């Protein structure tokens, strides 16, 4: 293959992780400063989601006693539904206007929604619906993920792409770590916390994380306004002048027609990404209710312990991203994606209940005591020292489904913590390569929307199946879905190649 030559200084392009910009040039430094702002935006987006995820269920139970596990599915899904609606909108906006505009707008919506979430306990009725609406708007603001991914894809060469996407995923994983870690730290404030009367704010273990996420959003807006600049390079790393959105002489960077993109590969990538995100949405939604049912953890224990577990998974994910960079260079993107799906299958297969031990049923130990049995359940529930723990007796499967042991739960966490990040980064790395050098805002919007659709349906699916049929059915169906994804990937394996390779410009 002939050496590529920078048209400005005739220097051979020998660097795999940099573009044709000279490393000391202002364009080069500005481009990577902007990319790092996108890394940070992805990091804060992840923090904003995970910082409350382990406390949503106990917070929901506290503010509205009528809420059940099925409604929890809708609350978790509301975030993704908002993101699904917003992603194509922000993606199209970023194709037509400077990316700074949709980013600032979306982050401000996210910031405001987190403040709303902190106040959902105030209304006298329908508190659970206020939580539902607040999470929907937090998700709508998170639709900027499509803009972030399209920016990084357009500002990196083909050789830089996998590394940049892995770095972005590592930042996302770091946010995934820090969010639950902060929630776990803030759990020591307690359920009562302190009250700031002047603004009618109850600052406790449920509201403090949302307010901290709002503060992070303010920092993010300042970085986008002050640091971000428009940059675009082609697949070979040659710098293309930034688009002038007001000038008639603006550069057209969308010379390739819609037909030049392999639409089968695009559709397949969206389906695979949907399945990957659906599976992980199921995992993150069911973690707290499952652990409370199976291990008889209290609300506070569930928030703390699951926060620690998710934090550890995040650290594991960062190590996986480092390995993915090397593995994708040696074996290719597609084999890494296939291996990730196989590991996820093992993770959910391990969770299938077996044995002769059964979970503790709520109230069983209380009703066996003749003195306490004369107390009403409402009286017991009102006493925080007698918070009911174990599997709710309303879930009839608790009586005949074997308990999932803590060792199974931890083993599953470890495997999913390996498989999910590998599949995640490979899915949208492959997708960005399939699309090629054309503006990717709308396409990335659809990819993000497909992931958000999965995160909408996943929680609803698992909350209903788990509540009615139990973990055996829920995890068996997930295993079947992963097998379907492996079959689909294998059937279109040869089509999932880079745009430049498809058109004979490079050899994969």
Backbone torsions φ then ψ of 14, nearest 5 degrees: -100, -5
123-175 per-position pLDDT tens digit: 888 889 999 999 999 989 988 888 888 888 778 877 777 778 778 877 876 77
Cβ–Cβ contacts within 10 Å for residue 118, how many?
24
pLDDT of residue 317: 81
Residue 105 has pLDDT above 90, yes or no: yes
Q: Which H/E stretch holds residue 147? A: helix 145-154
26-58 per-position pLDDT tens digit: 777 888 888 889 998 988 888 877 788 778 888
β-partners of residue 203 are 194
pTM of the entire predicted model: 0.66
Cβ–Cβ contacts within 10 Å for residue 108, how many?
15
Mean per-residue pLDDT over the chain, rounded:
79
Residue ranges of domains in the chain, CATH in brackets = 26-242+258-362+389-502 (1.20.1250.20)
pLDDT of residue 161: 74
Residue 431 has pLDDT above 90, yes or no: no
Question: Which of 363, 353, 369, 370 is CA-nearest to residue 389?
Answer: 363
452-479 per-position pLDDT tens digit: 778 778 877 887 888 888 889 989 999 9
User: What is d(CA 32, CA 229) in angstroms, rounded to the nearest whole number?
Assistant: 10
User: What is d(CA 161, CA 28) in angstroms, rounded to the nearest whole number?
Assistant: 16
Q: Which positions ≥6 away from 237 have C-beta within 8 Å?
A: 4, 13, 18, 19, 20, 157, 158, 159, 160
- For 343, the token pair is 């590991």
Residue 244 has pLDDT above 60, yes or no: no
pLDDT of residue 94: 83
Residue 387 has pLDDT above 80, yes or no: no
317-376 per-position pLDDT tens digit: 878 878 887 888 888 888 999 999 999 999 999 999 888 888 888 765 545 444 444 444
pLDDT of residue 299: 78
**Three-class SS of residue 182?**
helix
* CA 324 vs CA 142, 149, 273: distances in Å: 26, 18, 17
pLDDT of residue 382: 43
**Three-class SS of residue 201?**
strand
- For 485, the token pair is 């994804």
Cβ–Cβ contacts within 10 Å for residue 224, how many?
22
Mark residue 498 as left, alpha or beta (left: phi above 0; alpha: psi -120 to 50; beta: remaining). beta
């Amino acid at each position: 293959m002939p050496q590529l030559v920078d048209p400005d200084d005739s220097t051979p392009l020998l660097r795999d992780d940099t573009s044709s910009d000279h490393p000391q040039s202002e364009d080069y430094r500005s481009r990577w400063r902007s990319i790092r702002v996108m890394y940070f935006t992805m990091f804060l987006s992840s923090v904003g989601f995970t910082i409350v995820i382990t406390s949503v269920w106990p917070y929901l139970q506290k503010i509205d006693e009528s809420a059940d596990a099925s409604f929890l599915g809708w609350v978790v899904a509301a975030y993704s539904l908002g993101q699904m609606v917003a992603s194509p909108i922000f993606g199209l906006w970023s194709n037509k206007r400077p990316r700074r505009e949709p980013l600032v707008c979306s982050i401000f919506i996210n910031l405001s929604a987190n403040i709303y979430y902190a106040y959902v306990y105030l209304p006298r009725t329908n508190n659970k619906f206020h939580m539902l609406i607040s999470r929907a708007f937090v998700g709508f603001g998170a639709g900027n993920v499509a803009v972030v991914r399209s920016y990084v894809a357009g500002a990196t060469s083909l050789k830089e792409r996998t590394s940049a996407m892995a770095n972005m995923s590592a930042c996302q994983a770091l946010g995934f770590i820090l969010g639950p870690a902060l929630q776990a730290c803030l759990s020591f404030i307690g359920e009562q916390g302190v009250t700031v009367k002047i603004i009618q704010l109850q600052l406790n273990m449920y509201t403090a994380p949302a307010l901290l996420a709002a503060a992070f959003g303010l920092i993010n807006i300042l970085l986008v306004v002050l640091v971000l600049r428009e940059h675009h390079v082609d697949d070979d790393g040659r710098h293309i002048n930034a688009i002038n959105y007001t000038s008639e002489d603006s550069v057209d960077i969308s010379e390739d027609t819609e037909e030049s993109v392999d639409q089968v590969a695009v559709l397949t990538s969206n389906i695979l990404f949907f399945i990957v995100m659906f599976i992980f949405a199921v995992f993150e939604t069911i973690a707290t209710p499952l652990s409370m049912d199976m291990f008889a953890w209290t609300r506070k224990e569930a928030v703390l312990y699951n926060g620690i577990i998710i934090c550890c998974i995040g650290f594991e994910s960062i190590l996986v991203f480092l390995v993915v960079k090397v593995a994708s260079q040696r074996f290719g993107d597609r084999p890494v994606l296939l291996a990730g799906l196989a590991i996820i299958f093992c993770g959910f297969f391990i969770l299938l209940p077996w044995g002769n031990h059964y979970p503790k049923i709520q109230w069983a130990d209380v009703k066996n005591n003749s003195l306490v049995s004369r107390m009403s359940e409402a009286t017991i529930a009102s006493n925080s020292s007698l918070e009911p723990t174990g599997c709710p007796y309303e879930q009839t499967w608790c009586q005949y489904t074997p308990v999932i042991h803590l060792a199974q739960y931890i083993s599953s966490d470890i495997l999913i913590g390996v498989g999910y990040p590998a599949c995640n980064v490979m899915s949208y790395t492959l997708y960005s390569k399939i699309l090629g050098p054309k503006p990717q805002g709308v396409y990335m919007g659809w990819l993000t929307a497909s992931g958000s659709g999965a995160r909408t349906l996943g929680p609803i699916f698992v909350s209903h199946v788990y509540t009615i049929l139990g973990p055996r059915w829920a995890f068996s169906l997930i295993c079947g879905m992963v097998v379907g994804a492996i079959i689909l990937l294998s059937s279109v394996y040869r089509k999932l190649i880079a745009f430049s390779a498809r058109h004979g410009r490079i050899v994969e």
